[in-house]
Amino acid sequence: MTRTICVVTTSRADYGLLYWLMREIADDPGLRLQVVATGMHLSPEFGLTVREIERDGFTPDDTIEMLLSADTPSAVAKAVGLGVISFADSLRRLKPDILVGLGDRFDLFAAVPAAMIARIPVAHLHGGESTEGAIDESIRHSITKMSHLHFTAAEPYRKRVIQLGEHPERGFTVGAFGLDNIARLPLLGREEIERALGFSFLPRNALVTFHPVTLEKETSEAQCGELMAALEDTGGLGIIWTRPNADTEGRIINRLIDEFVARHPQRSAAFTSLGTRHYLSVLKHVDCVIGNSSSGLIEAPSLRTATINIGDRQRGRLRAASVVDCRPEREDIRAAIEKIRAPAFRELVSAADNPYGTAGAAVRTWEVLRTYPLQGILKKSFHVVEAIP
């Protein structure tokens, strides 16, 4: 009997990580893939990236509009409520055997309780991680408790899932999904990516992504301002900005980015959505990634690119020796930029091991999803941790 697996994708970020798993499911004659696109995928403001899904040959079985035209806490909370209502109707029609979601976005947080109440098993990817500076932390662990199968990026994260009361036999360490893209996508050369972006690299360049720190009130403008003050002093550094997600105060950061690019049009450019291949190609050719995105911790080390990780948003995540942590203050950021210039640090970056392992997460996850027994999976008991295996 064909098993139907519904993959929920909320943004350019999680779609890039889900792509190879979706491909494995679609190519398996014993499985039927359903795709539900929601969140930023459907917003022109964020690049209308549902078109990228369609260009890749996946036809969404449903699209769920849930974003409001504001990024206040109230608007985000209302979007979650709207999403739960819409997913309840969608899942009633689609009737999948398993729902798959990745990460900790509030958009996914709307899908999972609708599935749980509809008695649809949930498989959660990239659970067990810790990001102490963002509401993502609470959302991620809440999704873990509503999920039935867990696919983590590293063994310490699997142990954290078990610590939350999940049974060890339902947790699988598969590695980070972003590493599949590095192994399986043909990345562009330097001249090719320059032509594709319409941006000429300088002798030294940085990819910059700064997201709101959602557990701190009204700090986005101040922290991003400190970052830009540090970058103002690095006149010889080319800056490629990627815009933040649809989080609280995200539009404030977008305004500041636009103002920076207007002041420095010869050495900076901003992009709403680069797409996975272009993003990784840029990440490969720049000297460093600066900001507070998880890609600086997960993908950058495998591309031998240094990372300057700013502030608390990623505090708690595993990191390679190629990552320099600093406070969201201009002097600290300047010092970090100077540190990664040193020849000794460049050697360290070239030799650093990635704590998220190697490629293969999509295949490892597909192998479990296609065969794991679903009979009785909905009834969960709390696993009391004495000694985590």
Mean pLDDT in residue range 312-319: 89
Q: CA–CA separation, 213 vs 290, rounded Å?
A: 15
For residue 176, the SS3 value is coil
pLDDT of residue 388: 60
- CA–CA distances in Å: residue 243 to residues 47, 72, 108, 279: 10, 17, 20, 12
pLDDT of residue 159: 96
User: Contact, 125 vs 142, CB < 8 A?
Assistant: no
Domain boundaries, the chain: 3-175+360-371, 186-351
Q: 248 or 7: which carries more pLDDT confidence? A: 7
Range in 241-255, 262-276, 336-350 with the lowest mean pLDDT: 241-255
| 212 has a pLDDT exceeding 80 | no
CATH architecture of the domain 3-175+360-371 equals 3-Layer(aba) Sandwich (3.40)
Establish whether domains 3-175+360-371 and 186-351 are of one fold.
yes
Radius of gyration for the alpha carbons in the chain, expressed in angstroms and rounded: 20
User: Contact, 96 vs 178, CB < 8 A?
Assistant: no
pLDDT tens profile 81-100: 999 999 999 999 999 999 99
Q: CA–CA separation, 378 vs 99, rounded Å?
A: 13
- CA–CA distances in Å: residue 72 to residues 9, 246, 301: 22, 10, 34
pTM (predicted TM-score): 0.89
| 165 has a pLDDT exceeding 80 | yes
Q: CA–CA separation, 374 vs 67, rounded Å?
A: 33
For 222, residues 6+ apart whose C-beta sits below 8 A from its C-beta are 328
| 218 has a pLDDT exceeding 60 | no
pLDDT of residue 69: 74
pLDDT tens profile 144-156: 999 999 999 999 9
For 233, residues 6+ apart whose C-beta sits below 8 A from its C-beta are 334
User: Contact, 332 vs 326, CB < 8 A?
Assistant: yes
- Terminal CA-to-CA distance of the chain, rounded, Å? 34
Q: 24 or 40: which carries more pLDDT confidence? A: 24
Binned at pLDDT 50, 70 and 90, residue 247 comes out as: low
pLDDT tens profile 276-302: 999 999 999 999 999 999 999 999 999
| 336 has a pLDDT exceeding 70 | yes
| 70 has a pLDDT exceeding 80 | no
Mean pLDDT in residue range 229-252: 83
Q: CA–CA separation, 58 vs 43, rounded Å?
A: 18
- Fold assignment, 186-351: Rossmann fold (3.40.50)
Binned at pLDDT 50, 70 and 90, residue 191 comes out as: very high
| 214 has a pLDDT exceeding 80 | no
Mean pLDDT in residue range 232-238: 86
Count Cβ atoms within 10 A of the Cβ of residue 322 and give its class: 0-12 exposed, 13-18 middle, 19 or more buried.
buried
pLDDT of residue 63: 96
Work out the percent of the chain whose per-residue pLDDT is above 70: 96
pLDDT of residue 332: 96
Positions of E strands within the chain? 3-9, 31-38, 62-64, 98-102, 122-125, 149-152, 171-173, 204-209, 237-242, 268-271, 288-291, 306-310, 323-326
Mean pLDDT in residue range 266-274: 92
| 231 has a pLDDT exceeding 60 | yes
Binned at pLDDT 50, 70 and 90, residue 203 comes out as: very high
pLDDT tens profile 166-189: 999 999 999 999 999 999 999 999
Binned at pLDDT 50, 70 and 90, residue 72 comes out as: confident
Q: CA–CA separation, 139 vs 72, rounded Å?
A: 17
Mean pLDDT in residue range 127-134: 80
Range in 27-31, 129-133, 208-212, 284-288 with the lowest mean pLDDT: 129-133
Mean pLDDT of the chain: 92
| 387 has a pLDDT exceeding 70 | no
